[in-house]
Amino acid sequence: MRESGIAPSMVEYWQRLLDQLLAEMVAELPASLVVGLRAIGMTTTAAWHARTIVRLDREAEPAAFRAEPVAASWDLPEPVLLEQSARWANTPRSCSSPNTRYRPKVIDPITGYVRVKAVCLFVKGDLLLAINGFDPTKRQRFWVPVGGRVEFGELSRRTIAREVREELSAEITELNLLGVLENVFRFDGSPGHEVVFVYDARFVDSSIYLLSEITGVEGDEEFTAHWIDPNAPKNGWPLYPEGLPGLLGNESNRPVG
């Protein structure tokens, strides 16, 4: 039903101008669908680079892929070549694209999808307010700005106001979107993927800027926020997500403590 490896008949295959394009396509995509007559040689070329070949012109193959193409290809070694001759006319729409098997390789342990977060950069002169975190697997501490996950149906700017109110018992003003960062990482041994809306704002209560440390609460746990240099974070701990110092260059409302 499925074949892996290079067919013996391909040992004396001659390279053609199209080969490089097909090689790049197969290498980049989890699965590729080749449509056309076998005589033109595209399938032969692509098969050199595929770990699994699924022949959709055989009776057993089309039935499974028409019913549920993603499930049918879920456990196949990648890259997969889906071979369709011209006479296999009823290709399901979901199989007609090279992205047939596109899906996350891993699942976020909390949301099951890419997380959307919002963080806020509170600054005092050249210092940034940040909270320290700890990765138990890496045995590494790090810094992150104030913020949290965007709830379903909640605009990211409302997330900032809610998180600051919940965690720091403070109100904010002059909220401004600085940019959006994408963060792919590993935490405690598990993969993570976040899209992060980055804002800056000012505390309504200006006395907060006079504090060297700010105590907050997240859930049932207390934490302490510190003023750190974003370009040379305190204790040498990294600042996440990456790219924050660059966005700070766009920020103009810096209160002086």
- Residue 90 is predicted with a pLDDT of 44
106 lies in some domain: no
Which parts of the chain fold into alpha helices (H)? 19-28, 42-47, 60-67, 69-73, 156-168, 244-248
Q: Which domain range does residue 184 map to?
A: 115-248
Are 46 and 89 members of one domain? yes
- Residue 98 is predicted with a pLDDT of 37
- C-alpha neighbours within 13 Å on the C-beta side of residue 32: 21
Are 122 and 237 members of one domain? yes
256 lies in some domain: no
Q: Which range has the worst mean pLDDT, 91-100, 121-130, 152-161, 169-178?
A: 91-100
- Residue 39 is predicted with a pLDDT of 41
Phi, psi of 114 (to 5 degrees): -65, 135
Question: 253 falls in which pLDDT band (50, 70, 90)?
Answer: very low
As given in the structure block, the two tokens for residue 151 are 């709830």
Are 127 and 42 members of one domain? no
What residue ranges in the chain does DSSP mark as E strands?
2-3, 31-35, 52-55, 80-84, 115-121, 123-124, 127-135, 140-149, 172-187, 190-203, 213-218, 221-228
Please give the mean pLDDT across all residues of the chain.
76
Residue type, 36: G
What's the predicted TM-score (pTM) here?
A: 0.56
Q: What is the CATH number of the domain that holds 222?
A: 3.90.79.10
More confident residue, 250 or 57: 57
More confident residue, 14 or 228: 228
- Residue 172 is predicted with a pLDDT of 97
